[in-house]
Amino acid sequence: MTPPMQAGEAASADLARTAGTPTGSVLPPLRIGRHVIQSPVVLAPMAGITNRAFRRLCREYGNEGTALASTRGASGATSLYVSEMITTRALVERSPETMRLIEHDPDENPRSIQLYSVDPATARAAARILVQEDRADHIDLNFGCPVPKVTRKGGGSALPWKRELFRSIVGAVVEEGAKRDIPVTVKMRKGIDDEHLTFLDAGLAAEAEGVAAVALHGRTAAQSYSGTADWSAIRMLKETVTTIPVLGNGDIWSAEDALRMVRQTGCDGVVVGRGCLGRPWLFTDLAAAFAGTEARVTPTLGEVADTLRKHTAYLCDFYGEEERACRDIRKHIAWYLKGFPAGSTIRNSLALVDSMVSLERLLVTLDPDAPWPGEAAEGQRGRAGSPRTVALPDRWLESRELSEEHRRTIAEAELSVSGG
């Protein structure tokens, strides 16, 4: 097995080539309860992506950016890296896969876990496990998922429509977290669709229940990831929720996008999801940008290949088996190679790798000196999808209160959840 690069190796080389002069920190440190995050950047929870291996990779690059900023006189520290979504029922039942998903590296701090729930009692029980067993330093609550299998059960971005249910779940988890000073945050969308917006009500309710911060993806569930994120909604939330940090999410593809979001909305930090797919060095760029430097990473194809090797090696460690790690890395191939001169034959072959040996055999055929392709490698990555009618429980939109019928739907949804 080819050994992975030393942490931040590619980032270091490119930062040395592209570093600029610091102009002073753009934002003050982000405070999430007792945690102080010097670089106000959060890795968004992404199902099947933000496992321990990917978080480690992003963390190394983020640390490289803040280290560079520090040596140049600017402040800097690690960002916040959140786990992929964990269902509370699976956690309470201690599903083996879920228990592995909530594991963290020894040096991962704060240890951040996102929970998904549709039931206050189960949410409380899951939070109690994380708190009493010292498994997390920060808990995020998912009220933003737009996936039909989630929303048709009343979960994710559909749930804030039911105001009391939303408050009950948030309040239960905040109460459990407070027992050991573990802050809770909420991530949400604008609402179900343009006619059923919930973000202002939900933001105020979360603030009243004692959360440490709220994050808003500037799209509705109906938009999925299509169209353009509405940053004006983030500004409105910031103007409405005044005692805790408000974080912005949506269409951050570069450090410049993040700076622009802050300028336009006044948000206290940014949440980055699809923009870092196949591009974990974005966290180097973001840390440097928020520290006020113009440093940006522009890796060669050889450096990208080294990062891909490292990512796969980390997945081997995470899964404990090479074949599963290689199956996982396949979905990242197109993201890593976006814009680079790599023909369809090798791209297709890389998308079928089943061992580190086969991966290496293909990577060595790439031109290591091929330069960063610039605009061709920038911009959107990941599936955007298209607008759609949101799948919801029957008559969900008739009232903001939870009917007995919907209580049964929620109970059945919680019991039917399995896995992580």
- Residue pointed to by tokens 């240890």: 111
Cα–Cα distances in Å, from 90 out to 97, 139, 301? 9, 16, 40
Q: Decide if 64 contacts 13 (C-beta within 8 A).
A: no
- The tokens describing 269, both together, are 């930090």
Q: Which residues pair with 248 in a beta bridge?
A: 216, 270
Catalytic, 145? Answer: yes
Chain-centroid distance, C-alpha 238:
20
User: CA nearest 146: which of 158, 132, 130?
Assistant: 158
User: CA 360, CA 73: separation in Å to the nearest integer?
Assistant: 40
Cβ–Cβ < 8 Å for 352, 339:
no
Decide: 380 and 253 in contact? Cβ < 8 Å.
yes
Q: Which 8-state DSSP code applies to residue 341?
A: S
- How far is residue 287's CA from residue 259's CA, in Å, rounded to a whole number? 11
From the candidates 145, 267, 316, 326, give the one annotated as an active-site residue.
Answer: 145
Q: Look up residue 275 and give its DSSP letter.
A: G
Residue (of 210, 251, 114, 193) closest to 387 by Cα position: 193
Catalytic residue numbers read 145
